[in-house]
Chains A and B, each alone.
Chain A
Amino acid sequence: MPTRVNFDPRTKLIIVLLTTLIFILNISFMIEIIFVIFLSCLLMLNGNHKLGVIYLVIFSLLILCNLTIFSEINDSWSILGSFLLIGGRRILPTLMAATFAMTNTHIGEWVASLQKLKLPFNLILPLVIVFRYFPTLLNNTKAIFKALKFRGLITNKFELILHPIKGLEYILVPILVSTDTIATELSSVVFIRGMGNQMPHTSIYANRFQWLDWLVIVVSVLLMIGGIVI
């Protein structure tokens, strides 16, 4: 098991935001390459060794295709193709940052960080519930598809594409009629575990800024400034 660094969720959040900024700003090609390599290093430090490499490969392939296949941009096909390639290349860092943020951080760590950032309880609780309930929802959807299948109402994807509204009605109605029960059950658990308590909460996860967090933030800010200046 290779070792990995436990980044503070706030660092991850900052990286996501900075990546967006870099995406919006017009940075030079050179800085773009450095930044992608930087992100893939972060991914590896975060424990996603495979993904870090895969993203790098995709990035290189995108550049390569753009330089070879679409070296001449004349007809509408090459315009479309090169647009997708360049667009895809530009959006890749945001995807990398998202992977960096979403993996190897517990929901509990995120909640603790959002609490530290003084996000109101009115937002944190619904967000926690979304993360809790969404997997259940996917399971329910699977169960519904099974029932639709043996009742012969919707038996394959093709029928779903032909009748999307009917299909969604079949899926949503059983789910929506049971939301009341689920809401009661989950609120009861939230309540008995004392989440509404007004006193300051603690967290089992020791989210602390370490020197590496600072380093990562400083480097990415420098890269961004460099991108603007150069």
Chain B
Amino acid sequence: MIDLYEVNYFRDSNKIINQVNLHINRGEVVALCGESGSGKSSLLNVMSGLAPGMIGGKLTGTRKIMGEIDADQLFQTFANKIGMVFQNPDSQFINPDVYSELAFAMENMGIERDQMYRRINEMVESFNFEELLQRPITSLSGGQKQLVACMASMILDPELYLLDEPTSNLDEQSIQLLSKRLMTLKQRKKTIVIAEHRLDYLRDLVDRYIIMDHGQLLADIPSAEFWQHSTEYQERYHLRNLFKPQINLSVAPIQQSAENQITLKIDELKFQYPRTKMALKSSQLELNNQDVIGIIGENGAGKSTLLQLIAGLLKPKQGLFWLNQQKLTGKAKLKYSFVVMQNVRMQLFFESVEKELGNGTNEIKNNELIELLSLQKLFKRRPQSLSGGQQQLVAIATALLSNKQFILFDEPTSGLDYETMLHLSQIINKIRQRKVLIIIVSHDLDFINMTCSRVIEMSHGQIKTMNRGQAND
């Protein structure tokens, strides 16, 4: 099905795929494991022909997909042959609603209308998606969007599936549905290559585990062997999430000096979502900067909303905010807060890092901080051309330099590779000694575990639990 000989893939003078030889037979289910940034996505893109075609870069070696070397021939009717799911749920659809998105690929392949109706019905039934069928895709949660992408990739019943972390935004129930569906595909001798860092749900599905690092294939292990010695492999290849991730905070609260103390108290908070019956409510919430605070919860639980309410970007229906006994107005909240957004590119405005840090001027007062974050070498660069991790660093520094007291992170790890994520966690650990209250919204429990000393779990607009370490408080 897939034959790669001596394949190298270069982009921007980086070698992203390094001397890969790989053969996958028809009917095999293969998992690609390794940290983000190890080359899993790139390898999938090489298999799908999107690299270098769409993405750019240069490919050497021989690539034979479904017995075809000539890309033009193979891709004429791509959708019929290959089903593909990407990582980013927000940019995986073209049509405004679920129904037309599911029909889209079939329309393009000229399938008869009756057949389309039949296939769509069958597909939404197996994913329990009937109720959401007519909804605009933009109104869906990240996980629901991801399911739409999965359904759309399967609707033409292709022979080969290339899936890039399809579960990254899914809740447990949807993961079960997806894995059931993949199981039937396996029984029907479809070939599946799946890049994933959550391995628990793949156990009965996968035939081979391929471990990647720095664009190379480190190991190719049959399933039985892999699970028999799973702890050994986990340590040797630094695999995360062999089992379901759990909260297990490894950071302790710290004692803040009296002058650096920040306590944010929120009383009787209520926020009504526009055009829905949903509301966010919290009777009492006290946040203190002896902790780095993590907020977790399913999609749509109200995590980001809470963050924006604290920052003063949304106006609550009612609620009182106290900063060290001083009452906060909406304007004051804005003045004290800085949100590091999920899409951090949307908050970098100036032509050099230096100017960005000075909020438009070239004056930077706090050199010690610049040194701490080692930003000096980036001063003359354009912030827009930096990597995702560096951009976050610049945003954090901007926040600290403008004397913000609440630094709020909204899903900071999306799109970061593992090393950058570690680095970010270390940076947060460094800056928490200062007079700042750090709150992190994330669905990445690994990151929460290594960064936060207290976790708030939200569900349906309510605060469900608050934890320090293992014990409830």
Asked if A and B touch directly (CB within 8 angstroms), the answer is yes
Taking beta carbons and an 8 Å cutoff, which residues of A are in contact with B?
Answer: 106-108, 112, 128-129, 131-132, 135-136, 140, 143-144, 146-153, 155, 170, 173-175, 177-178, 182, 184-195, 197-204, 206
Query: What are 30 A-B contacts with C-beta separation under 8 Å?
Result: A128-B94, A143-B343, A146-B308, A146-B313, A146-B339, A147-B339, A147-B341, A150-B338, A150-B339, A151-B359, A152-B335, A152-B359, A153-B359, A155-B334, A174-B345, A178-B345, A182-B91, A184-B54, A184-B55, A185-B91, A189-B86, A191-B50, A191-B75, A193-B108, A194-B79, A201-B107, A202-B113, A203-B113, A204-B103, A204-B120
Known contacts A147-B347, A149-B313, A188-B54, A193 near B94 by CB under 8 Å: yes
Q: What is the CB-to-nearest-CB distance from B400 to chain A, in angstroms, rounded to a whole number?
A: 13
Chain A, Cβ-Cβ closest to B138: A135
Contacts of A106 in B (CB 8 A): 96-97, 100
1/0 per position for B91-105, CB-CB distance to A under 8 A?
111111101100111
List the 4 closest pairs (A to B, CB-CB), nearest first.
A194-B79, A147-B347, A204-B103, A185-B91
Bound complex: CA A99 to CA B97 (Å):
20
Q: Is B414 an interface residue (CB 8 A)?
A: no
Whether A147 touches B346, Cβ cut-off 8 Å, given contacts A193-B108, A201-B110, is yes
- Give Cα A31 to B343, complex, Å: 54
Contact of A197 with B109 in the complex, beta carbons under 8 Å: yes
Q: Assuming the A-B contacts A153-B360, A194-B80, are A108 and B100 also in contact, with contact meaning beta carbons closer than 8 angstroms in the complex?
A: yes
For the complex, give the distance between the alpha carbons of A165 and B1 in Å: 55
A206 vs B107: C-alpha distance in the bound complex, in angstroms? 12
- Summarize A's interface: helix, strand, loop or mixed: helix
Most B-side CB within 10 Å, residue of A107, A131, A195, A197: A197
Query: Which residues on the B side are within 8 Å of A170 (C-beta)?
Result: 349
With contact pairs A140-B346, A204-B113 given, residues A107 and B91 touching in the complex (Cβ less than 8 Å): no
Q: Contacts of B462 on A, CB cut-off 8 Å?
A: none
Contact A197 B113 (CB under 8 A): no
A188–B360 CA distance with the chains assembled, in angstroms: 37
A144 touching B113 by the CB < 8 A rule?
no
Chain B hits for A136, CB < 8 A = 90, 138
Besides the known contacts A107-B95, A151-B398, A194-B80, 7 further A-B residue pairs in the complex with CB atoms under 8 A apart: A143-B343, A146-B313, A152-B402, A184-B54, A188-B54, A189-B86, A192-B82
A201 surroundings in chain B (CB, below 8 A): 107-110
Given known A-B contacts A185-B86, A204-B99, A151 and B347 have beta carbons under 8 A apart: yes
| B76 interface residue per 8 A CB criterion | yes
A192: chain B residues within 8 A (beta carbon)? 48, 50, 78-79, 82, 84, 153
Residues of B within 8 A of A131 (CB): 96
B206 at the interface (CB under 8 A from A): no
CB distance from A148 to the nearest CB of B (A): 8
State whether the Cβ of B211 lies closer than 8 Å to any Cβ in chain A. Answer: no
Query: Which A residues are in CB contact (< 8 Å) with B308?
Result: 146
CA distance A146 to B84 in the complex (A): 35
- CB pair B77 A150 closer than 8 Å: no
Docked CA distance A31–B100 (Å):
40
Q: Which of B335-353 contact A (CB under 8 A)?
A: 335, 337-339, 341, 343, 345-349
Across the interface, which residues of A come within 8 angstroms of B48, CB to CB?
A: 192
Contacting pair B100 A174 (CB below 8 A): no
The answer, among B94, B106, B339, B402, for a CB contact under 8 Å with A186, is B94
Q: A153-B349, A193-B152, A202-B112 are in contact. Are A140 and B343 (CB under 8 A)?
A: yes
The answer to whether A199 touches B359 (Cβ under 8 A) is no
A147: chain B residues at CB < 8 Å are 339, 341, 346-347, 349
Contact (Cβ within 8 A) B77 A149: no
Residues of B in contact with A (beta carbons under 8 Å apart): 48, 50, 54-56, 75-80, 82, 84, 86, 88, 90-97, 99-100, 103-113, 116-117, 120, 138, 152-153, 308, 311-313, 334-335, 337-339, 341, 343, 345-349, 359-360, 384, 398, 402
B96 touches A193 (CB 8 A): no
Docked-complex contact B94 and A143, CB < 8 angstroms: no
A128 nearest CB across to chain B (Å): 6
Q: How far is the CA of A189 from the CA of B357 in the complex (A)?
A: 37
With contact pairs A107-B100, A189-B92, A192-B79 given, residues A202 and B345 touching in the complex (Cβ less than 8 Å): no
Docked pose: A147 CA to B116 CA in angstroms: 44
Of the residues B75, B80, B311, B349, contact of A150 by C-beta under 8 Å:
B311
A230 CA to B109 CA in the complex, in Å? 51
Q: Is the CB of A204 within 8 A of B116?
A: yes
* Closest chain A residue to B85, Cβ basis: A192
Known: A147-B339, A173-B384. A202 touches B107 (CB 8 A): yes
B192 CB, min distance to chain A CBs, angstroms? 16
Which of A185, A191, A194 meets B109, CB within 8 Å? A194
Say how far A135's CB is from chain B's closest CB, in angstroms: 6
Q: Which residues of B contact A202 (CB under 8 A)?
A: 106-107, 110-113, 116
| Shortest Cβ distance from B56 into A: residue | A184
Chain B residue contacts of A135, Cβ below 8 A: 138
Considering only CB atoms, which chain A residue lies closest to B348 in the complex? A174
Instruction: Assess the B108–A189 pair: CB atoms within 8 A.
Output: no
Give the Cβ gap from B124 to chain A, nearest Cβ, in Å: 13
The 8 Å CB contact of A199, one of B50, B91, B109, B360, is B109
Greatest chain B CB density within 10 A among A112, A175, A195 is at: A195
Residues of B within 8 Å of A186, CB to CB, are 91, 94
Chain B: minimal CB distance from A127 (Å)? 12
Q: Check A143 against B341 for contact (C-beta < 8 Å).
A: yes
For B99, list chain A residues within 8 Å (CB).
204
Given A146-B339, A153-B360, A174-B348, residue A107 in contact with residue B80 (CB < 8 A): no
Report yes or no: B94 in contact with A174, Cβ–Cβ below 8 A. no
Which residues does chain A contribute within 8 Å of B313, judged by CB atoms? 146, 149-150
Minimum CB–CB distance from B411 to chain A (whole Å) comes to 13
With A147-B341, A150-B311, A178-B345 as contacts: A191 and B78 at CB distance below 8 Å: yes
The interface residues of chain A lying within 8 Å CB-to-CB of B76 are 197-198
Evaluate contact between B94 and A132: CB separation under 8 angstroms: yes
Residues of A within 8 A of B337 (CB): 150
Known contacts A147-B339, A150-B337, A151-B347, A197 near B111 by CB under 8 Å:
no
CB distance from A142 to the nearest CB of B (A): 9
